[in-house]
A and B are shown apart, each in its own frame.
Chain A
Amino acid sequence: MNITDETIEYVAALAKLELSSEEKEKAKKDLGSILSYIDTMNELNTDNIEPMSHVFPIKNVFREDIVTNESNRDTLLSNAPKQKDGCFIVPKTIE
């Protein structure tokens, strides 16, 4: 499969990655060969086959609507690269 620059840029944007021009070239080549190989799936006739996401026919796994958690803010925030006033901090989101 031939992967274009646009495709690589589009996919990198979806994955929120920034690639250098060498990385882009390498990615084009790798993705091309991997996807070509993946395309061999098309040799297999799958007409009338239901796509299967779960192997086991397990259904209806629920929990009851009962509060079980207590506030544990310090622990939750302890891994944050930046925090303030009990919140995670990000660059401003409103332009």
Chain B
Amino acid sequence: MKSYEMVIGLEVHVELATETKIFCGCTTKFGGEPNTHCCPVCTGMPGTLPVLNKKVVEFAIATGLALNCKINQNCKFDRKNYFYPDLPKAYQVSQLYLPLCHHGGIEIQVNGAKKIIGIHEIHMEEDAGKLIHDSWEDCTLVDYNRCGVPLIEIVSEPDMRSAEEVIAYLDKLKLILQYLGVSDCKMQEGSLRADINLSVREAGAKEFGTRTEMKNMNSFKAIARAIEGERKRQIELLEEGKAVIQETRRWDDNKDTSFAMRSKEDAQDYRYFPEPDLVPIEISDEWIDEINNRQPELRDEKMLRYETEYDIPAYDAGIITSSKRMADIFEKTVAICKKPKEVSNWLMVETMRLLKESEMEPEDIGFSPNNLARLIGLVQDNKINRTVAKEVFEIIFKDNIEPEAYVKEHGLMMVNDEGELRSVVEKVIAANQTSVADYRGGKDKALGYLVGQTMKEMKGKADPGMVNRILKEILTKD
């Protein structure tokens, strides 16, 4: 078999985290009873007109700047015409002729090798509604809640050559968008959707092969599988001397295979033309500067700052900043308790472990920085020991409880009442005369056993230093 190379470009649709839809004052909240986040404008009622949400333009410009794009300072909307029940006006307001951003790129790293993935353009558009198949009546239900939610479509150049590069690109993109606060990028809720344009060619060939477009992957894993599946499918076709047909395919992750989506008779002629109901957008240098000045710190800068400002290792900084949510919690917690290394440890070790165990993403972290800071304070003040702290943290992670109250309620406070400890130690000594003799005979190890026994009696709530001191005191005195 010949050796082949993949050529991959991505069209990523991102739902913006605005309060309202792109052209009307309806909420963009995910979910909700069908057709309750709708109005005459976003359901395409006759006579209604769109008015552009300013925040959409600002979010899109911010994204363009973060992806090193040029901003088209004169841009406008166009209509893309096609019939489908999820599109109530039978056209999507989008941008073809003068998209907002173009000619950008971001750097990715795969197996140590760095590479720039070009961004062809970013344009603004409206999302479509949702179709729900009703198998009972064999019909389709139409819900327009999502209809008119603002999207940006980020179109890459065909610069990727492997699934690893695609995932690295998406990872990087997702982080930038989350750091900018322009999207929550939840793939399960459809706020980040990637369409994959993929072709194969013989290694070394100059020309691109015929590409297909794949849709409907809702996790990075599915994307990786879909790429592998499509690569194989196309190579098999070529090996059999057949041609790849340019078409849109739908990935079915359950069946681990893709299907051609549209029938051939359905002409793809979108008849784009300038949207007459919306006026052009003129973006001044001042406006761009203003947005630039407001840009939040992105990941790379943040990592560097963590190393210098908080004195934590690059490795730790990398893990913490791998999620905007995590980095936010880190900074807020440090601001309260002023113990960066402690906070970092709780995030790096316990938080990561619990996330993994409960199959959660860092975005799903629900505890408050305040409660983590207070837990750290309890340990610091010797109010609880580390073993207890870990237990308490699991509860904080799960239910975001207040650690002081919880510790008090469950009697987990460290015992540092000298009299109480002394009586327990005496009881332990009385019950373990062999170990006492061993210790006095010079076997230092026996002391550890006696400490352990005392801690056991105390259900772990004793201050180990204090136990040690009292034990030694009694054993040497007698």
Contact = CB atoms under 8 A, between A and B. Distances in A.
Interface in A21-71: 53-54, 58-69, 71
A19 to B, nearest CB: 16
Contacts of A85: 34, 141
A63 B140 contact: no
A51 B33 CA distance: 45
Contact of B279 (A10, A14, A58, A73): A58
A68 to B, nearest CB: 3
Task: State the main secondary structure of chain B at its contact with A.
Answer: loop
Contacts of A76: 35, 38-40, 43, 45
B276 A86 contact: no
Interface in B139-179: 139-144
Given A60-B281, A64-B54, A73-B35, A87 B143 contact: yes
Given A63-B53, A69-B25, A76-B40, A90 B267 contact: no
B280 interface: yes
A72 B274 CA distance: 31
B19 interface: yes
A89 B143 CA distance: 9
B37 interface: yes
Contacts of B56: 65
B282 interface: yes
A1 interface: no
Nearest to A53: B274
Contact of B133 (A13, A59, A86, A92): A92
Contact of B36 (A58, A73, A92): A73
A87 B141 contact: yes
Nearest to B130: A87
A63 B148 CA distance: 15
Contact of A92 (B26, B52, B140): B140
A15 to B, nearest CB: 10
B51 interface: yes
A62 B265 CA distance: 40
Contacts of A73: 33-36, 38
B406 interface: no
B290 to A, nearest CB: 14
Given A65-B20, A76-B43, A14 B139 contact: no
Contacts of A64: 53-55
Contact of A69 (B24, B143, B276, B281): B24
> Interface extent on A, as a size class?
20 to 34
Nearest to A90: B85
B138 A92 contact: yes
Nearest to A74: B35
Interface in B29-75: 33-40, 43, 45, 51-57
A64 B269 CA distance: 34
B139 A90 contact: yes
Given A65-B18, A67-B25, A73-B35, A89 B139 contact: yes
Given A10-B267, A65-B20, A85-B141, A93 B85 contact: yes
Contact of A87 (B84, B138, B142, B279): B142
Nearest to A87: B141
Contact of B141 (A16, A59, A89, A94): A89
Contacts of A89: 139-142
Interface in A75-95: 76-77, 84-94
Interface string B276-305: 101111100000000000000000000000
Given A54-B279, A59-B279, A64-B54, A72 B267 contact: no
Contacts of B265: 13
A69 B141 contact: no
A60 to B, nearest CB: 6
B371 interface: no
A59 B140 contact: no
A92 B138 CA distance: 6
A87 B132 contact: yes
A54 B276 contact: yes
Contacts of A54: 276, 279-280
A72 B76 CA distance: 31
Given A60-B282, A73-B35, A67 B276 contact: no
Contacts of A13: 265, 267
A91 to B, nearest CB: 6
A88 B142 contact: yes
Contacts of A59: 279-282
B242 interface: no
Contacts of B25: 63, 66-69
Interface of B: 18-20, 24-27, 33-40, 43, 45, 51-57, 76, 83-85, 131-134, 137-144, 265, 267, 269, 271, 274, 276, 278-282
12 contacts: A54-B279, A58-B279, A59-B280, A62-B57, A65-B54, A71-B37, A72-B38, A85-B34, A86-B36, A90-B140, A91-B139, A92-B139
